[in-house]
Amino acid sequence: MSRLTFLGAVGEVTGSRYLLDVDGPSRPHRLLLECGLHQGGRELEGANAVPFGRLAGQLEAVVLSHGHLDHAGLLPKLVREGYRGPIHCTADTAELLEIMLVDAAFVMAKDLEWENRWRSRAGKPALEPLYDEDDVVRTLEQCEPHDYGRPVTLPGDVTLVFRDAGHILGSAIVELAIPSGGQRRRLVFSGDLGNPASALMKTPEKVHEADLVLMESTYGDRDHRPLPDTLEEFARVLDEAHADGGNVLIPAFAVGRTQEILYHLSVLYHEGRLHQQMVFLDSPMAIRVTELYARKHKALDPDDLRVLNVAAHGDPGQYLPILRLTRSVEESMAINRIHGGAIIIAGAGMCNGGRIVHHLRYNLERPSTRLVIVGFQARGTLGRQLVEGAERVRVLGEELAVKARVHTLGGFSAHAGQSELIGWAGAFRDHPRFYLVHGEPEAQRALQAALEEAGIQAEIPAYRQRIEL
């Protein structure tokens, strides 16, 4: 009998990882679905350092839903510890990984350099990185890209098919047909399901056949505000910041959220409603991803692109002329001399690192500043503290008073809300078993209750729980 073990994204949003022990025709096989980083505070992030042990040498294949680090960020560590098999993903995900993982290794090295200086002064041993750029190069060499809808045969006579999840470029719903107990069982993993109202992405595909479904529950406890209302609030916040003479800070994830925010700013600009004259995209990784999105316009929603009249030049500036791409550290530092009139988009999306932290240091104590939160903020992050109304926060070792106005615009989420999740789940025939993953406990319990009202039974798994397929 084939089995699945929950190794991550259980009772939390990040750290996606699921182990499949497959009852193959001649011998057992081990496959890994996802290999994500834990994000959100020291305790969670400490789990990233736990060795894979023998598993790295036992695995025969890895399957990846998409390129966000909480789903793919530990792949180079797995390779560093001995994994030499294929990494199956969509073609666009493979291109994103080249940007994401190189950046992750670079940031990790810089963070560790500062940490080890402190440890050296304290007489403590230096720490090793989870992985380095050489590990990333080997990881990318092991990626095997596939098109949506095309069956792929994996070890153990498992069949893999990717479906469009509508979340970010290349994101996929994973279908696996797995031998188990003399039958073939169909496992469907939602990955991260997109918000149908989001710009640029297509609507997530619905799947109808499954025996077992793993479904994300990030926003399982609520629906997002309607996008038109969110856009009006966004425009109002921008107007208020302009009137007050302040800057607008937008911590945004480099993949997906940044490109959507740029899209809406472009629409406002062409409608004559954007009063600011400077929009900074202050993230080398987000710049590269935005350029990739521009090149990959055929994979995006054609109706949204028609609004922008985007041609295939790969130049984001063609649809937002006031956009300035700040690649170097010096250019980023120069932004902090601007005390008002700028919109600054920078990572990290949860304010737990990256260039946004430096902009917070210079702007958070100004009442004229507007901080616009457009993505999920995990527990333990600076972003979560700000969303929850902290009056004082610690930034780069300095305690700051939060005088800026903080606005949370959930309508920009790239995740499906509760109603969309229930609708997606309701498309399955013959009542498959549902397990809720990728959610905090409150959101999971709320979604479980809402699904039950819709006639769908769902379980909430525990860490390391093993189930038979």
Domains of the chain: 3-222+414-468 (3.60.15.10), 227-412 (3.40.50.10890)
Locate 265 and state its tokens: 């700013």
Q: Which two tokens stand for residue 356?
A: 């946004």
In order, the DSSP letters of 235-288 are HHHHHHHHHHT--EEEE--TTTHHHHHHHHHHHHHHTT----SEEEE--HHHHH
Torsion, CA 345, CA 348, CA 353, CA 354, rounded to 10: -50
Pairing of strands 152-154, 143-146: unpaired
CB atoms < 10 A from the CB of 301, how many? 16
pLDDT in tens, 428-459: 999 999 999 999 999 999 999 999 999 999 99
Digit-coded pLDDT (tens) for 90-125: 999 999 999 999 989 988 888 888 888 888 888 889
Band the pLDDT of 318: cuts 50, 70, 90. Answer: low
Better-scored residue on pLDDT, 3 or 110 = 3
pLDDT surpassing 50 at residue 312: no
Question: 312 exposed, middle or buried (CB, 10 Å; 0-12, 13-18, 19+)?
Answer: exposed
Q: Tell me what the pLDDT averaged over the chain comes to.
A: 92
Which pair of structure tokens corresponds to residue 462?
């525990």
Across 52-72, average pLDDT: 96
Share of the chain above pLDDT 90, in %: 75
> Is the pLDDT score of 151 beyond 80?
yes
Q: Is the dihedral of CA 193, 199, 440, 224 positive or negative?
A: negative
Residues 191, 33 contacting (CB under 8 angstroms): no
Model confidence at 316, in pLDDT bands (50, 70, 90)?
low
Tens digits of residue pLDDT in 367-391: 999 999 998 888 888 999 999 999 9
Provide CB contacts within 8 A for 196, sequence distance 6+: 166, 203, 204, 416, 420
pTM: 0.89
**What single letter denotes the amino acid at residue 50?**
V
Sign of CA dihedral 55, 60, 63, 68: positive
pLDDT tens readout for residues 257-283: 899 999 999 999 988 999 999 999 999
What local confidence, expressed as pLDDT, does residue 393 receive?
Answer: 95
pLDDT at 36 over 70: yes
Residue 328, CA atoms < 13 Å, CB-side half-sphere: 3
Is 227's pLDDT higher than 80? yes
* Token pair for 299: 């994979």
pLDDT confidence tier of residue 310, bands split at 50, 70 and 90? very low
- Supply the pLDDT for residue 313: 42
Give the separation between CA 236 and CA 217, rounded to whole angstroms.
Answer: 30
